[in-house]
Amino acid sequence: MRWALLGSVAVLALLASVMLGPAAVPWGELAHSDIVWNLRAPRAVLAFLVGGSLGVAGAGLQALVRNPLADPFLLGLSGGAGLGAVVALALHLSGPWALPLAAFAGALAALGLVYRMGLVGGAALDPRILLLGGVAVGAFTAAITTAIVSLADAAELRNAFLWLWGGLSAASWDSVLLLALYAPVPLAVLMAAARPLDLLALGEEPARYLGADVEAVKRRVYLAASLLTAAAVAVSGVIGFVGLVIPHIARLAWGHHHRALLPAAFIGGGALLAIADTLARTVVAPRELPVGVVTALIGVPVFALLLRRWTIA
Amino acid sequence: MALAHFARRRSPISISPGMGIFIMRRWLLAWLLLAACRPSGRPAGGLTVTDAAGRTVSLAAPARRVVSLLPSFTELLFAMGAGDRLVGRTAWCDYPPAAHAVPSVGDGMPPNVEAVAARHPDLVVLYHSGPNVTAAEQLARLGIPAVLLDLNRLEDLGPAARTLGRLTGREVAAESLAAAMDSLAARPPRPAPPPFTSIVFVVWDNPPIVIGRGSYLHQLAALAGARNVFADVTVPSAQVSLETIAARDPDWIAVLQDSAPPGAPAFATRREWRAVRAVRERRFLLLPGSLFGRPGPRSAEAVRELRARIEGVGGASR
């Protein structure tokens, strides 16, 4: 029942985002319109993939650091991606993929730095060290980015922040293909870690007694969730709230078993971002809202409502 | 947070989606300052003007050491023969060539008040914006008169020229300049030549930000006989969907470029942009930022240049 409901919401979200848009496309021409096939359809699919990836990454990281505030961007990835994009602009790297690749590289650099900090002194990815390291690396990269933007005289550098908050306007079948080939690997790694993640919720010691290889699980989950997020940033910038709110909503409805929780977070995250993007494109047409604004405007009230029901029950 | 911060810091040509808030802030500030400045005594003799923020600016004598913090003001001052009064300019002031000889006080966004004060000006001219109101107040506390002027549209040029003329004692030259500016702003839109006449100004590609009716660029296009396909966007610029650009099917994509070697913009090679016919047909108008990036005394020249480009002088993809 829950799955049927979630599935139909997702299908409706995808259909709506292909059928609705600021440009008036007659119903009869939907099937063979250039706007539908080359702009709306890839954008809808990309929104779904990115939203789903962020939802799963958020669920994985929340279980890993055992902190309900964990979000895919908490561990310094958005700062790293922003720095990468600004450096690419400052070095005048050209080519249509220069910015996404540089942002991806920046996110990977931040990921590597935080990961290395998490291992300092045999800490073995202590959740507290990861969180502090993530916040510190995020602040540090943001400071460097701001310094570059303030000192450089190229006007376009100031627009790097627009790129970072860009949302899904750069969607094309190319970016869909890229993410569709890339995302299944970290998604599979996270799904395979579903059972050990359930055990990890009990604490590291009990999980170890129950037979989980805690160190390996933490390493795999951290790297897979971060690699998923890095790819999402590269194709769509920093989209907030999906990775924070969706895992909690999924947990309220599906409980704490990651075997069900992770797929639910994927479909739920995908549906939320597809709906949010459709609204972002249509409600103020011909203008467009940043999609992160819409995810927060939908996600937070839904979350507050569920939280209220949850705490009262 | 960061976005809003940087949006406000951007040059006046690439106006941000945060402009709505920016303008609201501006009006609020203007209103507060207006309320605060109402009962001000005026010195006998000398020059007194009320600026765009409602502040009363008084000079004992025409200014002899002027710092201009907007390229348009620098151009206007040179055009009225007051270029020799300039002792400071922004890093963006690149016209006329003589402006390069004036020391730069930085990018002016926001103004570096110390660097401005170090030029010992007896008048500072600023674009009327939130951060600049703060800078003007700081300068006033240092005893340096600062005047805030609007310069968003072509009709702002005449009043700005007259104010600058009064403050620098170049009233006669300023009046003829202002009259020319006023007649340009009041000129009826030129009827479009039949083929290839609709245009979109793309300020940024991801997310796509385009110029709306609130910008002087919209006015330049209308005077050149081109129809801005985003004339229904009332603000100077706004974020829009790529599919709206594709559906409105402009004949030309206009892009402002600062860099010396002009070339098709990077987004031209991106697959999603190929849904736009003008991108597929490579109908780009690569407009030099120095001429098109600001309203100023050369706006009539910008209109002629745009008209010539649209009519095909210089090749289809230039």
pLDDT, tens digit, 9 for 90 and up, residues A181-240:
999 999 999 999 999 999 988 888 888 888 888 889 999 999 999 999 999 988 988 898
A257: domain range? 2-21+30-312
* Residue A31: Cβ-neighbour burial (10 angstroms; 0-12, 13-18, 19+): exposed
Which of chain B's residues have a Cβ under 8 Å away from the Cβ of A171? 272
Q: Across A109-180, where does the E strand assignment appear?
A: none
Q: What is the CATH number that goes with domain B198-310?
A: 3.40.50.1980
Cβ neighbours of residue B74 under 8 Å, at least 6 residues apart?
B68, B86, B89, B90, B93, B95, B99, B102
Closest Cβ–Cβ partner in B91, B239, B272 for A170: B272
Inter-residue contact B107 to A152 (CB < 8 Å): no
| A290 contact B CB<8A | yes
CATH number of this structure's domain B45-186, picked from the four choices 3.90.550.10, 3.90.420.10, 3.40.50.1980, 3.30.110.40:
3.40.50.1980
pLDDT tens across A160-169, in order? 677 777 689 8
| A38 contact B CB<8A | yes
Inter-residue contact A212 to A200 (CB < 8 Å): yes
Answer whether A162 sits within 8 Å of B3, measured CB to CB.
yes
Structurally, how many domains does chain A consist of?
Answer: 1
Closest C-alpha to A104, from A192, A6, A226: A226
Write the CATH number for A45. 1.10.3470.10
Q: Would you write out chain B's pLDDT as a tens digit for each of its 318 residues?
A: 333 333 333 333 433 333 333 333 444 444 444 444 433 434 445 789 999 999 999 999 999 999 999 999 999 999 999 999 999 999 989 999 999 999 999 888 789 999 999 999 999 999 998 889 999 999 999 999 999 999 999 999 999 999 999 999 999 999 999 999 999 999 988 776 666 689 999 988 888 999 999 999 999 999 999 999 999 999 998 999 999 999 999 999 999 987 656 678 888 888 899 999 999 999 999 999 899 999 999 999 999 999 998 887 444 443
**Which ipTM value was assigned to this complex?**
0.79
Q: How many CB pairs under 8 A join A and B?
A: 118
Residue of chain B with shortest Cα separation from A142: B2
Residue extents of the structural domains in chain B: 45-186, 198-310
Answer whether A35 sits within 8 Å of B2, measured CB to CB.
no
Answer whether B206 sits within 8 Å of A169, measured CB to CB.
yes
Q: Quote the CA–CA distance of A233 and B43 in Å, as a whole number.
A: 60
Cβ atoms < 10 Å from Cβ of B13: 22
